[in-house]
Amino acid sequence: MLIRDATLLLDFAPGGAVLRGSVRIERGRIEAVGALEPTAGETVIEAAGRLLTPGLVCGHTHLYSALARGMPFLDPEPPRNFIETLQKIWWRLDRALDDEAVEISARVGMMDALRWGTVGLVDHHASPAAIDGSLGRIADAAEAIGVRVSTCYEVSDRDGEAVRDAGLRENARFAAATAGSPWASAMIGAHASFTLSDASLDALAALCSTYGLGLHIHLAEGGDDREQTRARHGRALIEGLATRGLLGPKTLLAHAIDVTPDELEQIAAAGARVAHNPASNLNNRVGFRPAWAAPGTVLLGTDGIGADMLEAGRTAFFRGREAREDASPDAVRAMLAANAELLYSQLGLVGGRIAEGAAADLVLFDYDPPTPLTTENVGGHLLFGLSSAHVGQVFTGGVLRYDRGQYPGLDAPAEMARARDAADALWRRMAAGVTHG
């Protein structure tokens, strides 16, 4: 395939160049970039100057929340704090998931991602009544839909030891089964410090060591994490992680809002990554951590509120501006680039850039701006012009996966009808307090 005569954004990272050229794709990877002409038998897509970029990646999400859109609130009293938000909404939802709901939410969540130009997801999964094989269902959906995914099972003590142990086994099974896959990779998952005993942390540390994987955990999403960790377990917020070797270069900490400057320095010194989730933090009223001020590698996530990364970048930028922090287009670009670096490194691929040898995961935008688009001003276009509404075609592994509202090879209306039926059944189980399919 040759994507001919496009405006190329070579890399979302700050300094990524914009130039005019063509991209040749062979065997799922970019073969050449530059002034190229078609060869015999080659499929040609005439870009006619349209913007071609690397596919976007979401740095932290929960695919199982894809069936929560429009979900009725079932408790007569609204949540008063973040812990009650978990108890009354999200833990109620995840306990009602069954095998079918896990599979369907992954499929439609990934289809939504594609229409937003997102080709990769760093997922964090929980389904206490449907644990066995859950991560495999997500991986199967990734390959079928054509989205790359890193996923893990959220180990927690909140549902008892048997459920905790099943979560540990699912992480281990998936870590062993997915090694070498170009579509799915594993991390070791955990909920948060305040729902993990010392024995659970020991078991998580053993899994990370055995499989050479990093921990993906929520940290300090609100003040409750610190307070309950101290009250229940008698330890500082990140002490349980640090003393077990769970705070290192492969660690992904979601949120990290209620952390002290000393803790941020400890996180940075360990080389751990932090996933900033601005829309979710605003929705849950848990505060704000200026991502560009935090030391270390910062990713950008949605925490399950879709996978529109251009919108997430704008939210991060404008929230930072409101807080009078040093928000900048380059800070948003750096987060988007960090997302891709994490996911593709886990998959053993070069990705997140338009370069020879990189995975052919690309987005062709129908974006015709009224002002010049250059290397120097592309950040302004990302924040003030380009949006997911401009997504025209999306390719992963060199295959066209999304084409202006259509999903080649998929029966999208049937997928959505099945999802609506599954969501209705899920909501009914939630209302009835049923925790299995």
- Same domain, yes or no: 390 and 321: no
Query: Has residue 270 been placed in a domain?
Result: yes
The pLDDT score that the predictor gives to residue 436 is 41
Query: Tell me, what CATH number does 367's domain have?
Result: 2.30.40.10
Query: Has residue 412 been placed in a domain?
Result: no
Query: Has residue 419 been placed in a domain?
Result: no
The two three-digit tokens of residue 272, written as one number: 């751990």
Residue ranges for the chain with pLDDT beneath 50? 436-437
How distant, in Å, are the alpha carbons of 176, 181, 203, 213, 245 from that of 208? 12, 19, 9, 5, 9
Q: Which H/E stretch holds residue 342?
A: helix 329-347
Q: Residue 148 and residue 98: Cα distance in Å, rounded?
A: 23
Query: Has residue 10 been placed in a domain?
Result: yes
Q: Count Cβ atoms within 10 A of the Cβ of residue 425 and give its class: 0-12 exposed, 13-18 middle, 19 or more buried.
A: middle
The pLDDT score that the predictor gives to residue 435 is 52
Query: Has residue 432 been placed in a domain?
Result: no
- Same domain, yes or no: 98 and 113: yes
Does residue 300 contact residue 312 with C-beta atoms inside 8 Å?
Answer: yes
- Same domain, yes or no: 140 and 250: yes
Query: Has residue 424 been placed in a domain?
Result: no
The pLDDT score that the predictor gives to residue 114 is 98
The pLDDT score that the predictor gives to residue 44 is 97
- Same domain, yes or no: 176 and 64: yes
Q: Residue 422 and residue 145: Cα distance in Å, rounded?
A: 18
Among 347, 364, 390, where does a domain finish? 347
Q: Count Cβ atoms within 10 A of the Cβ of residue 41 and give its class: 0-12 exposed, 13-18 middle, 19 or more buried.
A: exposed
Among 309, 325, 347, where does a domain finish? 347
- Same domain, yes or no: 235 and 332: yes
**β-pairing verdict for 391-396 and 399-403:** antiparallel
- Same domain, yes or no: 169 and 21: no
Dihedral angle sign, alpha carbons of residues 56, 62, 63, 69 = negative
- Same domain, yes or no: 50 and 61: no
Structural domain of 126: 56-347
Does residue 53 contact residue 12 with C-beta atoms inside 8 Å?
Answer: yes
- Same domain, yes or no: 43 and 66: no
Query: Has residue 336 been placed in a domain?
Result: yes
- Same domain, yes or no: 342 and 357: no
**Residue 71, SS3 per DSSP:** coil
Among 302, 319, 347, where does a domain finish? 347
The pLDDT score that the predictor gives to residue 434 is 58
- Same domain, yes or no: 46 and 189: no
Smallest CA-to-CA distance from 35 within 20, 57, 50, 56 is with: 20
Query: Tell me, what CATH number does 181's domain have?
Result: 3.20.20.140
- In DSSP notation, 298-340 reads EEE--TTS---HHHHHHHHHHHHHHTT----HHHHHHHHHHHH
- Same domain, yes or no: 377 and 291: no
- Same domain, yes or no: 47 and 196: no
Domain count, the chain: 2
Where b means 16+ CB within 10 Å and e means fewer, 206-220 reads ebbeebebbbbbbbb
The pLDDT score that the predictor gives to residue 292 is 66
Query: Has residue 32 been placed in a domain?
Result: yes
